[in-house]
Every structure is written in C-alpha cells, then in structure tokens.
Amino acid sequence: MSTAKNKPIVAPSDPPVFKPSRNIPKQTTLFLYVRAAGRCEFDGCNRYLLEHHVTKAPGNFAEQAHIWAFSPKGPRGQPETKVNMHDISNLVLLCPTCHKLIDRDTVRYTVDALQSFKESHENRIFQLTDTKPDRASVAILLKGRIAGNAVAIPLEDIQAAVIPRHIGQRGMHEIDLTGFSDKADPAFWSLAANEIQSRMLRFYETHFDDGVPRHVSVFALAPIPLLVYLGSCLSDKVPTVLYQRHRDSEDWLWKRDGVETEFVTESIQTGSDNSKVAILACVSGSLDLTDLPSEIDDSYSIYRLYPKNVDPGLGIVGSDASLQSFRRAYQDLLRTIDSKHMNLPNIHLFPAVPAPCAVAIGRDLLPKRDPAIIVYDYDKAKNGFLQTLEVNNR
C-alpha cells in the first residue's frame, strides 16, 4: 500500500506564456482605413494609398503602423504592455516610405509626435467629409513673388478656411507667377497681367469635380496691382469668397470673434480739372498728399478711403464682415465720383490695402459704367509710387 511519502514529487508547472498575435482584427483595420480616408497620416504626406501613386492602378498600398511598438524591443517599444497593441488608438495608417522613416528615426518621431499626426489627420478628414455636395467650391490660387520671395499656399490651409465648404480633389486652379522676372523689369506687369487674363478666360469653362464652377474661393498672394487685375477677371455671376492670410495666426480662416471695422470716405482735395481724379485707399497703411508723385498735382480731385475710428494698419481686415464694409464704402465712392465727374476717362489709384481688398477693388468695377483704374505700386527702392497697370480699360 502506497503512502503519501512514497508519491513522486512533481514540480508545479510554469504559467503559460501568452504571445499576442500580430494579426490586427479586421474590424479595426476597416475603421482605421475609414478614419484616415485611405491616405497616409504622416504630417504633410497625405498620399492616397488605394491606388499606385504613379500608374493609378487600384490596389492596397497602405501599412498599419503601431505607435507604441508591438515588441518591447521595437521602435518606440516599452518594457511592459501598457496599451492594447491593436487598439485603433495605437495604429496609424502610413505609406511604406513614411512607415520606414518613423521606425528609423525614433528620436524625432516619438509616440507623442505620431499621436499628434494621427489626431490632426483624422480630425481634418472628419471635417472635410462632414459636408454636403452643394458645399463644393473651386479654389483660385494666385501666387506671385512678394519682396522677391516666392510664396506658398498649402492645400490644408485652403481646406480649413473654406469649411463648411470643401475643395474637391480636382477643384484647384493655380496661376503661378513666381517664375516671372522681377517687377523692376518694365515688361513684368503686362506679361503677368496677360498670364492672369489667359488663365481666367479658360477658368469659367473648365469642368472640375462637380462640373463648371458654381462657387469660387480666391486665395491670392501677389503684388497689389496684379491682385486688382485678378479681381477684374472674376465673374459677378458666380458666388465668390475672397480670403486673406492673417499674419498673427498664419492661416486663412476669417476670424469669427473679431470686431467689424467700418470704412468711410472723404474728399481731401478739389481739383481744378474735373476730369482728373485720384483715390487713396488707406487700409493697411496711411497715405496723404505728400506721398503722391508730382504728376498728381492741384488739378486732381482726390478722395481717401480709410477705416472709421481706428488708425490704418496690418490686421484691420480680420473678418469677412470688415471686408464687406470696405467693399460697400468703395462702391459708394465710385458712385459719388460718377455723379460728380461725368464721363471720367480714368481714376488713379494709390493702394495700401491687404490682398482681398485689392481683389475686391478690381471685382467691384462695372465694366460698362466705371472708368479705367490706373493702379500704382509703391517701390521701396525709389521711395515712391510708380504707375503699373490700367484695369477696366473699355
């Protein structure tokens, strides 16, 4: 008869080692692709990953990357499991190039950085898809050199500015003047104006994502005379919104909580020749009679347009309401001039205005009624205004 002391001693077995699967649940994969809209979530990449980027052949070219690494020894690894490795919050959709980059440079592309990329991208996708088809707009981008430097207008800034509208994938019409010679060249103004005119003549007949343009959003950074000329090429039959890049926030969103700036006009000189008129548009800077070239003499009647109860300066036009106030004052001034100066051949314009005001000056001209506008540009090198373009020449 066996006794307990005769039983063999069996060592207790070690607990089973749990090795998580590398297979990401199908539903999680589906949700990630939807949240990312099938695009690379690396900041600034945005490559569409469900077709080949060169041949456009359909296919799945995306990779699901772990923010906290799957393995403790992997990029952005951790000694102990603190998160569900396959939770959607720990996954980011990337193209192969960006996936390789973040795993090679973990000093720069930390967990915090990747989480920020993911949040920014997915929030943007949600905002862009939270629109209706009738909210589509076509963007006109005019880019010129400012003080000799080329400017950039990022697509993500444009999309953010037009919400709740959206710009379709093929809803961009770019007029790039950055390759033109410097404005010191006498031929610069006419060549640049001809380029704007030829591109805009085709614009309203072009079919974009939703057909011909039914709504237009304008983003323009260029010398002021060219902005005025662009405005004269915009149709008054298609709803159009003008945008401005704000220096303080470095974006193009019209401020919703800003104070509306009102604008008024006044006559500052009555000239001896009723057929000679000049306008000083003082929005971003102050102008007076001493700033004018010698040819604008006592024979000219001179009017000034300026902000009410506030000094001219940068940031005066921070809201769309302020822009509309400027436009009303400008249109009223044109009607005043029309009533006092019959059959006027032209008006000499000296502008110190932000970009959307310059575009509005050209757009609000009535081709069959208003006189031509001779636009001057301030030349720092010569410390004065120089005549550039004639807009609305009938």
pLDDT of amino acid 132? 62
Distance CA 218, CA 234 (A): 10
Q: Are residues 120 and 151 in the same domain?
A: no
Tell whether 1 is covered by a domain.
no
Measured CA distances, 197 to 175, 178, 210, 375 (Å) = 10, 16, 23, 17
**Per-residue pLDDT tens listing for the chain (394 residues):** 444 455 555 455 554 444 556 789 999 999 999 999 999 999 999 999 999 989 989 999 999 999 988 777 778 877 555 667 889 999 999 999 999 999 999 999 999 999 999 999 999 999 888 766 578 899 999 999 887 777 888 888 999 999 988 887 788 999 999 888 777 777 899 999 999 999 999 998 888 876 788 899 999 999 999 999 999 999 999 999 999 999 888 899 998 876 799 999 999 999 999 999 999 999 999 999 999 999 999 999 999 999 999 999 988 999 999 999 999 999 999 999 999 998 899 999 999 999 999 999 999 999 888 999 999 999 887 889 999 999 987 5
* Residue 211 maps to a domain: yes
At which of 66, 94, 129 does a domain end? Answer: 129
Q: State whether residue 233 is helix, strand or coil.
A: coil
In contact, 353 and 341? CB cutoff 8 Å: no
Do 140 and 226 share a domain, yes or no? yes
Residues in the chain: 394
Residues 162, 242: contact at Cβ < 8 Å? no
Instruction: Tell me if 254 is assigned to some domain.
Output: no
At which of 129, 152, 176 does a domain end? 129
Written in H, E and C, the secondary structure of 148-200 is CECCCCCHHHHHHHHCCCEEEEEEEEEEECCCCCCCCCCCHHHHHHHHHHHHH
Same domain, 336 and 280: yes
If asked whether residues 112 and 139 sit together in one domain, one would say no
Q: Does residue 368 belong to any structural domain of this protein? A: yes
Is residue 226 assigned to a domain?
yes
Rounded CA separation 146/158 (Å)? 19
CATH number for the domain spanning 169: value is 3.40.50
DSSP 82-123: -S-TTSGGGEEEE-HHHHHHHHH-TTTS-HHHHHHHHHHHHH
Contact 241, 268 (CB under 8 A): no
Burial class (CB in 10 A: 0-12, 13-18, 19+), 13: exposed
> β-strand 372-379 against 384-391: which pairing, if any?
antiparallel
Q: Whole-model pTM above 0.75?
A: no
- What DSSP state is assigned to residue 290? G
Residue 318, pLDDT score: 92
Examine the domain organization and report whether 302 and 189 are in the same domain: no
Question: Does 320 reside within a domain?
Answer: yes
Do 297 and 216 belong together in one domain?
Answer: no
Q: How far apart are CA 146 and CA 182, in angstroms?
A: 10
Q: CA-based Rg of the chain, rounded to a whole angstrom?
A: 30
Contact present, 234 and 194 (Cβ < 8 Å):
no
pLDDT at 108: 94
371 is a domain residue: yes
Whether 47 and 118 map to the same domain: the answer is: yes
Question: Which structural domain range is residue 327 located in?
Answer: 263-391
The residue among 221, 225, 187, 218 whose CA lies nearest residue 203 is 218
Task: Tell me, yes or no, whether 362 lies in a domain.
Answer: yes
Q: Using CA atoms, how far apart are residues 49 and 46, in angstroms rounded to an integer? A: 9
Q: Which residues lie closer than 8 Å to 292 by C-beta, 6 or more apart? A: 278, 280, 302, 350, 385
Residue whose C-alpha is closest to residue 38's, from 28, 29, 50: 50
Task: Report yes or no: 370 and 277 within 8 Å, Cβ to Cβ.
Answer: no
Same domain, 369 and 269: yes
Report the DSSP beta bridge partners of residue 140: 173, 218
The answer on 152 and 124 residing in a single domain is no
> What pLDDT score was predicted for residue 7?
52
Q: Both 276 and 386 in a single domain?
A: yes
Contact 350, 300 (CB under 8 A): no
Total domains in the fold of the chain? 3
Rounded Cα distance between 137 and 140, Å, is: 10
Q: What is the DSSP letter of 134?
A: G
Token representation of residue 274:
């009723």
- pLDDT given at position 205: 86
Quote the CA–CA distance of 333 and 355 in Å, as a whole number.
20
Please indicate, yes or no, whether residues 267 and 375 belong to a single structural domain of this protein.
yes
Which amino acid is residue 127, in one-letter code?
Answer: Q
Say if residue 373 is in the same domain as residue 270: yes
Pick the last residue of a domain from 76, 106, 129. Answer: 129
Instruction: Quote the longest CA-to-CA distance of the chain.
Output: 137
